Every structure is written in C-alpha cells, then in structure tokens.
Amino acid sequence: MATPSSPFAFLGDLFNRVGERLQPPPWVVHEIQHRAVLFLNHVLQQEPEAQQRLIRQQGNVVRFQWRFITMQLVATPAGLLDLAPEGATADLTLTVMQDSPIDLVRSGLRGDKPEVQIVGDVQLAAEVNWLVDHVRWDVEDDLARLIGDVPAHAIGNGARRVVGALRQFVGDRAGRAAASSGRE
C-alpha cells in the first residue's frame, strides 16, 4: 500500500518554485529589511544588557542568509542595529541550513533553534547567540499601551494557550512520525 504524501511537502515545493521565479524589486526588499531593523531595535531597547553587548561590537557586520533571503546588519555606537552599507564585508555569516519553510516553522513551534552554519568572528557569534537566547519581545507590554493592561493580559493568556496547544500538536505528530519510522 502506498503511503500518502504530506500536504506539507507540496507546500514546501510550491514555496521553492515561487521563491525562485518571483523576486521582489530591490526597493521592496530594502523597505522590508528597514522595517525589520526598526522592529529589532524596538525589542533591543527593552533590554539594556543587549544594548551594552552590541556597543562592544559596534561596526561589526553580521550577514544572515536563508535560501534566497539575505540581510546584513551592523552594530551601531548606540547599541542598536542598522542595515550595513552596500558592499560591506561581513565579520560573521550565519546561514540557516533548513531549506523547508514548513520544517523551519515546525522546529520553531517545538522551541528548537534551526541548524545554522557559522562562519567568521567567534566572539561576535557568541554575542549573537546570547541575544537570541535572552532577548524577547514583550508583546503583552506593547499591546497594553494600545488597549490597556487587562485586555492585553487576557489576549496574552489566550495566545500562550494557543501556542502551547500548537507545540503539543507538533510534538505529538513528530513523536508519532519518529515511532512509525523506527518500526519500518
């Protein structure tokens, strides 16, 4: 009996084909990267220790790569991030090795870090790892500024329950898949 194929495999293949053929214009890429930097700086400003660590790395350029997506960031003297100038040489290159966006989302929901190839400055890599491990966006605090503390807390609790259920669902499916592949 043939094993049915996963719809996730189809979605991953579709993402590959669309991503290879449809490239956004450079101005759209720049604008999205600029918005990402603004968001990252907003999150960094909530963590003074993170800013102090970035001040020590000022001027260093980190290049992030995943498939056809690339972004270069430079640490500023204020302990924040900015887009690196065009043609800047990266001190550190971080390449996400998982090709499938579905697998990337699954591992994120399980709370796992993706497999990353690290090339370059070891000290800078350690600082980036610290930032990834310790800096979190306080969504509830930002939401409270817009709608108040009580509604923000209620939405935060609901979101935590949904994320917990998704993690459990993904973990259960991964466990069943591992168990079934072990029997064959």
Strands 92-96 and 81-83: unpaired
User: E strands within the chain?
Assistant: 61-66, 69-75, 81-83, 92-96, 116-120
Strands 69-75 and 81-83: antiparallel
What end-to-end distance do the CA atoms of the chain give, in Å? 14
Beta-bridge partner residues of 62: 73, 92
Phi/psi zone of residue 79: left (φ > 0), alpha (ψ -120 to 50 degrees), beta? left
Angle CA 35–72–18, to nearest 5: 70
Q: What is the pTM of this model?
A: 0.70
Q: Spell out the per-residue pLDDT of the chain, length 184, in tens.
A: 455 555 556 666 666 666 667 778 888 989 999 999 999 999 999 999 999 999 999 999 999 998 888 999 999 999 999 999 999 999 999 999 988 887 887 777 777 788 889 999 999 999 999 998 888 877 778 778 888 888 877 888 888 788 778 777 766 666 666 666 555 4
Q: What token pair was written down for 128?
A: 């980036």
Q: What is the pLDDT of residue 184?
A: 46
Q: What is the pLDDT of residue 38?
A: 95
Q: What is the pLDDT of residue 95?
A: 94
Q: What token pair was written down for 109?
A: 């929901």
Going from the C-alpha of 32 to that of each of 24, 51, 76, 139, the distances in angstroms are 10, 23, 20, 20
DSSP state of 75: E
Q: What token pair was written down for 5?
A: 């194929």
Q: What token pair was written down for 9?
A: 């495999």
Q: What is the pLDDT of residue 176?
A: 64
Enumerate residues 6+ apart whose C-beta is below 8 A from 156: 139, 140, 143
